[in-house]
Structure 1
Amino acid sequence: MSGGAIGSEEGREIGERLPARRLALPRLGANLPRTLALALALPLAAALGWEAIVAAGLAQGRLLPPPSRVLATFADLHARGELLLHVAATLWRVLVGFGLGAAAGLALGALCGASRFARETLDPTLQALRAIPSIAWVPLFILWLGIFEASKVALIAVGVFFPVYLGVCDAIASVDRKLLEVSRVFRLSRVETVRRVLVPAVLPETLTALRSGLGLGFMFVVAAEFMGASEGLGYLLVDGQQMGKPDQILAAIVAFALLGKACDLVLVAATRPLVAWQDVARDRL
């Protein structure tokens, strides 16, 4: 029997075994109660412990209010209709900035990762720009785009762009050369090589880069909302600091944490089908 026939038979055998192995993986949400319990154990323990310390009179809780006061602030903001307004404003800015920054990062990252000429031409400048602190862009964006939404979205997009660009560029440039040699052995066209070899090879790192970019988007939105915003969770932080309301500051921080985690969960759930073919240790531990 020829080597090609043997290879094709082995390929068919591997292909026949793959579906069974995927079915053997844990189902999404099978351990959801346990996962939620473990995830909430530490923050709940810390919150209840601080509540007990303040209630016992061991601490005043003036600068670090107990959770009961923070929850009361949440309830007051909700009753006045301000909580949803601020959350919606921050979420809109992050999503638009994330979309623009991620699109630019994916495009330039793919270009620099696939082309040595583009990498040697563009990457040094982009890496130098990446070292600029986020707050340094604020006066320039205000001068260029004004103090309203455009400058805020632009700042968030800058924050999202760099981790996405870096992750995609490094992922493509680090693809194992043996994979490309295999594609040549099987005489795959350029389109087929990209679809069947390059995309699966770089997809996990690309999704991680997108998650990092989304996290930085929430960090940059705080600086963006310091630029004269009248609504948003960043505005709540500034207002709480100026008015001496530590409970409002903590409420805004908690809202940032919950909103950021919710967006990260949505991104993970939306992209999970793209990497369903992976059989990694994370799914078995």
Structure 2
Amino acid sequence: MSPARVLKSGWRAALLPVVLIILAQVAATVTKLESDSLASPIDIASAFVTVMGDGTLLRATVDTLTAAATGCLLGVGVGSLLGIVLGLFRIADDALDLTIELLRPVPVVALIPVVMMLLGVGTEMEVVIVALGMLWPSVVLARAAVKDMEPRLLEVSAVLQLGFAARVRKIVLPAILPQLFVSLKLAAGYALVVAVTVEITANPLGLGYGIMMAQQALRPAEMFAYLIWIGAVGWVISLLVNAAQRTFFPAFVTGEDR
């Protein structure tokens, strides 16, 4: 995509948010908005500058991204390995299929009380919750990727009498790596959502906790500043992951990501 086309597309994408911001500011000015639940765009911008200037927002961002990234990598790594095992060994797949289908629909937020009882509050608890949220989707995607492999590749590994580790390293991983990256791509954005949710409901750290503190202190401008910042962080993560996909796996880039 040419720079001119990127610029033109960017202007089109920014048009609606800019119009909404202007309309919101006009409405707040005309009505002389004074509310414990709403704030004007100017007040939100002022609150953003304040929390960014005193370091509060940056510290919260580091806490959230650390937990989200660690949990994402852990969940995707363990889930992908388990999915590969299930894809390669029919006996293991049959033995664990019912267990996976029973556990997979359980909302990850429902596990927060259980993990809190085991680990208490803190970063470790948040990492475990995020990892559990990433685990089952990664299992399903990796298992499907292995089952969709060219059968002759596995026949080659059998002829070469490769052990499990060698078969995974030399045959399976090179064949399914693009699909595993898609799994990581999907998990990256979801991990941020889970991390913020945990912080809002249970963990006194990070961006989610900042939202809760602003809400309880009746500072709506600060609350909306946190919300907008979370959206911006998620957008940047999406851009970085899409850029990595275009670089390393261009054949798997969809039209909307180009």
1:238 counterpart = 2:209 = no
Larger Rg over CA atoms:
1
Q: Structure 2 residue aligned with 1:223, among 197, 202, 211? A: 197
Q: Which residue of 2 aligns with 1:120?
A: 94
Which whole-Å deviations, capped at 9, do the CAs of 1:173-196 have from their partners, x for residues lacking one? 233xxx3248859x9747698678
TM-score by length of 2: 0.81
Are residues 1:78 and 2:79 paired?
Answer: no
Q: Give the partner amino acid of 1:38.
A: S
1:48 matched to 2:22: no
State the secondary structure of the residue aligned to 1:147.
coil
1-side partners of 2:3 and 2:142: how far apart? 31
8 Å contact 1:94–1:217 — kept in the other structure?
yes
What is residue 9 of structure 2 aligned with on the other side? 38
Pick which of 109-118 and 194-203 moved more.
Answer: 194-203
Cα distance in structure 2, aligned partners of 1:138 and 1:40: 41
Instruction: Name the stretch that deviates more: 159-168 or 60-69.
Output: 60-69
Q: Secondary structure of the equivalent of 2:106?
A: coil
Within 1, Cα distance between the matches of 2:146 and 2:57? 42
Indicate if the aligned counterparts of 2:75 and 2:130 stay in contact, CA closer than 8 A: yes
Match of 2:61 in 1: 87
Percent identical among aligned pairs is 24
1-side partners of 2:70 and 2:167: how far apart? 32
- Residue type of the partner of 1:145? L
Amino acid at match of 1:67: P
Whole-angstrom distance in 2 between the partners of 1:251 and 1:74: 5
Secondary structure of 1:109's match?
Answer: helix
**Alignment size in residue pairs:** 252
What is the aligned partner in structure 1 of residue 231 from structure 2?
Answer: 257
Please show how residues 1-285 of structure 1 align to structure 2 within 5 Å: 31-32=2-3, 34-35=5-6, 37-39=8-10, 41-55=12-26, 62=35, 63-175=37-149, 179-181=150-152, 189=160, 198-199=172-173, 201-276=175-250, 278=251, 282=255
> Are the aligned partners of 2:122 and 2:204 in contact in 1 as well (CA < 8 Å)?
no
Computed over aligned residues only, the root mean square deviation of the Cα atoms, in angstroms, reads: 3.3
Residues 105-129 of structure 1: per-residue CA shift (max 9 Å, x gap): 1111111122211111223212221
After superposition, the Cα gap between the structure-2 partners of 1:194 and 1:254, relative to the gap in structure 1 and judged at 3 Å, is same
Q: Which runs of 5+ in 2 are unaligned?
A: none
